Amino acid sequence: GYFSFGENILKNHNKSIETFKKLPLDRIGLETDNENFEKVKIQEVYKKAFEVKNLQNQEKINLFVSQIQHNFDSIFT
């Protein structure tokens, strides 16, 4: 299964952050469709995800983004 993160990591929810850190990339989804957090932009979620996963160079960021897109496509196409 996949685990989706959005508001929970942006608000530094400890259990969510720890889970996110430990999960392999092929099990992660990022989203902003929580009705209580509708003004969040997906860019903010990705920025926080990069920080939490300690992605500091462009190559690692590109691999992360590519994997997240692949996960999304696997679920919705």
Say what the pTM is.
Answer: 0.86
> Among all chains, which residue has been given the structure tokens 């400890």?
14
Tokens of 60: 């690692």
How high is the pLDDT of residue 32? 85
> Among all chains, which residue has been given the structure tokens 């889970």?
19
Spatial distance between the Cα atoms of 7 and 56, rounded to a whole number of angstroms: 22
How high is the pLDDT of residue 72? 94
Render 37-77 in DSSP notation, one character per residue: GTT--HHHHHHHHHHHTT--SHHHHHHHHHHHHHHHHHHH-
Spatial distance between the Cα atoms of 21 and 9, rounded to a whole number of angstroms: 10
How high is the pLDDT of residue 74? 94
Low-confidence ranges of the chain (pLDDT < 50): none
